[in-house]
A and B are shown apart, each in its own frame.
Chain A
């Protein structure tokens, strides 16, 4: 092999090794000897502390947020959701932001416009005024992201900040959705998409005569998840709609639980069970698993639980 070719190959190998280094180091840093994907689940009436514990069970926020990093929060707290049980609770969002700040994040921002009364929904908002005041909202614009491996969509308009933050933390709520049965980690990516793109997910199928093409919607959501996998998902399963979602009003189930993990497919499998569905009944989950975004094998994961009671 010529020297130049050798150096070129070595450089390529080195680059690949470097790219995988962060994944490898995270796996090595996980508490406890496990190569299985880890999900944490914490039950308790204090949702702020449950959130802290859920991430602690994964090894702490320091595994995901390094000092000086920028952190984007994809939290399901848009202004158009007004009924409790339809949006992620402020306690869960705030605890996540606090952990990111304590880990040394230099900037924390939301990836969508949040409800104006987000922080006043909980007295903790006032208690953490300094932190709350420092969290900003992404300013956009939306950029067209190519999705070559997409099966339903080949591109999507997504907020550019999604790709510019060092760390992406997904904060969905496991609630009922009339169109997809369940909305959780995977569907929450629509929060980073433009309204036009989201409507296309619902109506872009070329299947003639269809009032709605549920398969297209599910596949489009799975395709959109290819653009960037969250570094961490912190899921609100405290109090959520079990019917008439996504906007309600509807019956609210009080599970008092917070989940956390790095595999959005696996987490959504737990979400499906909360709604008395098998993961295989949720098309989005199957489509995302088929893309390799995560695993549906709940038996092959390490579940770490705690009750703060």
Chain B
């Protein structure tokens, strides 16, 4: 779609919204045009994707996005005569929680927070942003030094177009307070999210519908929510059996109500239950991990 055609479509959508007619916007509608960023032009017509065709954009990488609930995507490269090129990829997620989740998954990396959208991270060659029910990346091309300032401009322009939608996963509020540098919270909706955070084994023994994790350097805390208390209890027992049978773990001694293992890196893994949730604390200081579990058990309704 040419930039003028895209602009016309965007204006049409905006007009429909103003008139009360609801036309659902698609990710391509949020791509900046020439008026937003003078000197920049699209190298090609934007590519658009649905859930079923996301493979064409990122091959097996689509698995994680599908797990979080991606609904569509748009991808295009922009060029500038003197500032190189940037790649823009915008993902429409099913809700703000999903956008938070995929952002939290992708932002487990070195970078600096920047004030764009609902949350954004600036790395050495790309920017990650979440706003409302959308997640997007702006990646510098062959010359990151020249293109990075423009990446931020692109990010601001795109964020300004995306509608605000409020919503953070409620489960996040149940996480304990972790001391230490580089605190990061992750929200996930399936096995891929969990297994990418910690290698419980070659498969997910918990199979929770959703979960959250708090991480600092050396410590991780997970809250996994199941359908109900009965399922949580069943998963607790089966997961414990699987973990205890895994030769990379050694048996440890836990407090009453806690299971304890020691992983291949010498870290303690404590497991306990709380209603429809299973709680896992991993780190080098067993007493501190016990404290975190007690913090959650004492503070929260199941």
Interfacial residues, chain A to chain B (CB-CB below 8 A) = 80, 82-83, 177-181, 190, 195, 198-199, 202, 211-212, 214-215, 218, 243-251, 277-278, 280-283, 286
> Which listed residue (A82, A180, A211, A215) contacts B60, Cβ 8 A?
A180
User: Dominant SS at the B interface?
Assistant: mixed
Given contacts A178-B64, A190-B60, A214-B192, 9 further A-B contacts (CB under 8 A): A178-B192, A179-B64, A243-B108, A246-B59, A246-B60, A251-B109, A251-B123, A278-B264, A281-B199
Please list 14 pairs of residues, one from A and one from B, whose beta carbons are closer than 8 Å in the complex, sorted by A's number. A83-B139, A177-B61, A178-B196, A181-B196, A195-B55, A199-B55, A202-B60, A211-B67, A218-B202, A246-B58, A246-B61, A280-B202, A280-B246, A282-B202
B190 interface hit (Cβ, 8 Å)? yes
Interchain CB contact under 8 A, B203 and A212 = no
Closest to B207 in A: A210
Choose among A83, A245, A249, A277 the residue with the greatest number of B CB atoms under 10 Å from its CB: A249
- Roughly how many angstroms separate A179 CA and B204 CA in the complex, as a whole number? 13
One digit per residue, 1 when the CB lies within 8 angstroms of any chain A CB and 0 when it does not, for chain B 98-127 equals 000000001011100000000000010110
Q: When the two chains form their complex, are residues A212 and B190 in contact, meaning their CB atoms are under 8 A apart?
A: yes
Q: Once bound together, how far apart are the Cα atoms of A199 and B109, in whole Å?
A: 29
A218 CA to B204 CA, complexed, in Å: 14
> What B residues does A283 contact at CB under 8 A?
202-203
- 5 closest cross-chain pairs (CB), A and B: A179-B63, A178-B64, A249-B126, A281-B199, A283-B202
Highest count of chain B CB atoms <10 Å: which of A83, A212, A244, A250? A244
Please, which residue of chain B has its CB at the minimum distance from the CB of A282? B202
Residues of B within 8 A of A248 (CB): 139
Taking the complex as formed, is B48 at the interface, i.e. its CB lies under 8 A from any CB of chain A?
no
Q: Kindly state whether residue B201 has any CB partner on chain A within 8 Å.
A: yes
**Pairwise interchain contact B87-A82, C-beta atoms closer than 8 A:** yes
- Shortest Cβ distance from B204 into A: residue: A214
Q: How far, in Å, is A306 (CB) from chain B's closest CB?
A: 28
Flag if B125 contacts A249 (CB, 8 Å): yes
For the complex, give the distance between the alpha carbons of A82 and B57 in Å. 11
Cβ of B220 within 8 Å of any chain A Cβ, yes or no, is: no
Residues of A within 8 A of B286 (CB): none
Whether B245 sits at the interface, judged by CB under 8 Å, is no
User: Interface code B194-228, partner A: CB below 8 Å = 1, 0 otherwise?
Assistant: 01100101111000000000000000000000000
Question: Which residues in window 241-285 of B have CB below 8 A to A?
Answer: 246-248, 264
Which residues from chain A contact B110 at a C-beta distance below 8 Å? 251
User: CB of B66 within 8 A of chain A?
Assistant: yes
Contact of B59 among A243, A247, A249 (CB under 8 A): A247
Asked whether B199 lies within 8 Å of A277 as measured between CB atoms, the reply is: yes
CB distance from B18 to the nearest CB of A (A): 36
B150 interfacial by beta-carbon distance below 8 Å:
no
B191 within 8 A of A: yes
Q: With A and B bound together, what is the CA distance between A42 and B169 in angstroms?
A: 46
Rounded to whole Å, the gap between the CB of B148 and the closest CB of chain A is 12
Question: In the complex, A178→B61 CA distance in Å?
Answer: 6
How far in angstroms is the closest Cβ of chain B from A89? Answer: 15
List chain A residues, Cβ under 8 A from B109. Answer: 243-244, 250-251
In the bound assembly, the distance between CA atoms of A181 and B55 in angstroms comes to 17
Would A178 and B63 be within 8 Å (CB), given that A212-B192, A214-B192, A249-B123 are in contact? yes
What are the residues of chain B within 8 A of A277 when measuring CB–CB?
199
Q: Which residues of B contact A199 (CB under 8 A)?
A: 55
Residues of chain A lying within 8 A (CB to CB) of residue B108: 243
**A178: which B residues are within 8 A, CB to CB?**
60-61, 63-64, 192, 196
Measured between beta carbons, the chain A residues less than 8 angstroms from B42 are none
Instruction: Give chain B residues whose Cβ lies under 8 Å from the Cβ of A280.
Output: 201-202, 246-248
With the chains together, A180 CA to B199 CA distance in Å? 12
Cβ of A278 and Cβ of B64 under 8 Å apart? no
A211 and B123 alpha carbons, distance in the complex (Å): 31
B247 surroundings in chain A (CB, below 8 A): 280
Residue of A at shortest CB range from B87? A82
Give the most central of B59, B106, B196, B246: most A CB within 10 Å: B59
Give A152 Cβ to nearest chain B Cβ, in Å. Answer: 14
Chain B nearest CB from A117 CB (Å) reads 10
Q: Can you list, as one digit per residue, whether each of B47-86 has a CB less than 8 Å from chain A (1) or not (0)?
A: 0000000010111110110110000000000000000000
Given contacts A249-B126, A280-B248, contact A179 B203 (CB under 8 A): no
Q: Give Cα A218–Cα B201 distance, bound, in whole angstroms.
A: 14
